[in-house]
Amino acid sequence: MQGQITTRAGTDDEVPDEPPVRRLSPHGRAIRVVVALAGAALLLVGTLVGQDDDFPFGPFRMYATADKLNAPVHDTRLRAVDASGRHLQLTDTQTGFRRAELEGQLPRIQRHPELLGAIATAYHRRQPDAPRLVRIDVVVRLLALRDGRPTGAYTERTEATWRAR
Amino acid sequence: MSARLGRPAGAVARWFTSPVPLGRIAAFRTLVYLFVAADLVVFTPWVRLHADVPGTLYQPLLIGRLLPLPTPGWLLTTVLFWVLLAAALLAATGRAPRLLGWLVFALYLEWMLVAMSYGKVDHDRFDLLVALAVLPTVGAARHGDTTRSEKAGWALRCTQLAVVATYFLSSWAKFRFGGLEWLTGATMARAVLRRGTELVEWSTHVPHLLVVVQFLIVAFELTTPIVFLLRGRWYYLHVTLMYAFHLMVFAAVTISFVPHLIAMTSFLPLERVRPVRWAARLLRGRTAPPLAE
């Protein structure tokens, strides 16, 4: 730790040649170059033909879809009724299952609405003292836009329903 | 090898492994592993909530189906959280860099599978995962060590390439999924309308402004590879531009790519940042004159 950390790196991003350099063996260098090129190739293939499923080599598709300004905005929510008859909207932290995850699995949940029972189970685990849920609906609200701004009008569709037995 | 490969291949090999000071790796290591610990607790605390979600909602990603990984439950998620937190904090000290480094990489990858196997995949940390994968290969590195190392150079080069790929290939993804219409579409307008801050609300009222911004974003993303050609002042200017881009994005729509910002420090001479030494000097400075830097 003692010593000459005062070497100026100059304008380059590398330090000038005075400090000693530890070289790689030819073998070590070759392996590293091959590994790096293989990783780059996987990432390129993932970007060209891959999907999110190929994480971490899938395409970087954040905000990659071209939106139409006035296409309606989807707003997916979980509406529930508990044993006391109370109506509530389940939040991400109440269930541990996030809204984006609900949207990602919505086709599967439409085919198998009983999966909503698992969300009820998660809710009960996280709120052990709350009344049991007896019903959950997945409701998609379509907010109408004009010039990209909400007009206040909306329509709602119930995409899946689960009832406690 | 470089001699045997001939000149072009040798030049590529040297570029991939151009030596950097070991002190830079020591600093980068500390930063990356401290981020992993902070990520668990501060940045993505929702991952832990998957502990209570029944396994029927677990839809393992390809890598989770290829590897014999158990379905996450309360026990796995809780044990993983605490072991990873302890390992990351220990690794941040620079001790046992290979053992702890590989351990953190494996556990963090599994943590990411717990995070992203329930229907939503995030795209903000490919470069951080690369950093975690390459750091253990460098071996021991002391803070302040000016000895240059080709192993260290390779590790940082891989991380830098992953940072630049994140920009470049995200433009590519825009063309693949959005098509050329992405440039003239309403993606930014809707993002600003949905989650824009007071700072940028006005921008939706200016005709075509956000379309111009979309062109600028793609131009910026597609030209990031030139950072590898720049030297000196222009190099640092470009790295500053990359950070400024994220500052603007955060100010506009409060989206921050923290793991990516951490990986991006691989472009900086981190070995010159010595907070512990500065603190010690400051304490000593009360009794002795400060040392020349």
Share of chain B above pLDDT 90, in %: 80
Contact B183, B218 (CB under 8 A): yes
Give the mutation candidate from A6, A44, A67, A110 for the B interface (greatest B CB count, under 10 A): A67
- Dihedral sign, Cα of residue A114, residue A118, residue A124, residue A130: negative
Spatial separation of the C-alpha atoms in residues A113 and B8, rounded to whole Å: 59
List the single range of A144-158, B31-45, B103-117, B251-265 with lowest mean pLDDT: A144-158
Q: Convert the pLDDT of each residue in B133-175 to its tens digit.
A: 999 999 999 999 999 999 999 999 999 999 999 999 999 999 9
Distance from CA of A110 to the nearest CA of B (A): 13
* Stretch B108-137: mean pLDDT: 96
What does the pLDDT read at residue A17? 54
* Stretch B211-237: mean pLDDT: 95
- Among A56, A95, A102, the residue with its CB nearest the CB of B129 is A56
Domain residue limits, chain B: 18-282
Q: Is B56 on the interface with A (CB under 8 A)?
A: yes
* Stretch A29-43: mean pLDDT: 96
Domain residue limits, chain A: 24-65, 73-163
What does the pLDDT read at residue A1? 37
DSSP-derived letter for residue B186 is S
Largest CA distance in chain B: 66
Confidence class of residue A165 from pLDDT cuts 50, 70 and 90? Answer: confident
What is the residue-averaged pLDDT of chain A?
88
Q: How far is CA B107 from CA B29, B134, B196, in A?
A: 16, 15, 35
Edge-to-edge strand list for the sheet holding A73-82: A87-90, A73-82, A133-146, A149-163
pLDDT higher than threshold 70 for residue B220: yes
Tell me which residues of chain B, numbers 69 to 108, contact chain A at a CB-CB cutoff of 8 Å.
Answer: none
Spatial separation of the C-alpha atoms in residues B293 and B289, rounded to whole Å: 12
Q: Do B123 and A58 touch (CB under 8 A)?
A: yes
Helix (H, G, I), strand (E, B) or coil at B21: strand
Spatial separation of the C-alpha atoms in residues A98 and A113, rounded to whole Å: 17
Q: Do B185 and A149 touch (CB under 8 A)?
A: no
pLDDT higher than threshold 80 for residue A107: yes
- Three-state helix/strand/coil letters over A19-53: CCEECCCHHHHHHHHHHHHHHHHHHHHHHHHCCHH
Share of chain A above pLDDT 90, in %: 71
- Dihedral sign, Cα of residue B235, residue B237, residue B243, residue B245: negative
Helix (H, G, I), strand (E, B) or coil at B148: strand
* Stretch A16-24: mean pLDDT: 81
Contact B155, B138 (CB under 8 A): yes
pLDDT higher than threshold 50 for residue B116: yes
What does the pLDDT read at residue A2? 37
Distance from CA of A101 to the nearest CA of B (A): 4
ipTM rounded to 2 decimals: 0.89
Q: Do B16 and A65 touch (CB under 8 A)?
A: no
- Among B17, B149, B174, the residue with its CB nearest the CB of A32 is B17
Rg, Å, chain A Cα set: 27
Spatial separation of the C-alpha atoms in residues B125 and A103, rounded to whole Å: 22
The pair of three-digit structure tokens given for residue B75, joined into one six-digit string: 């026990």
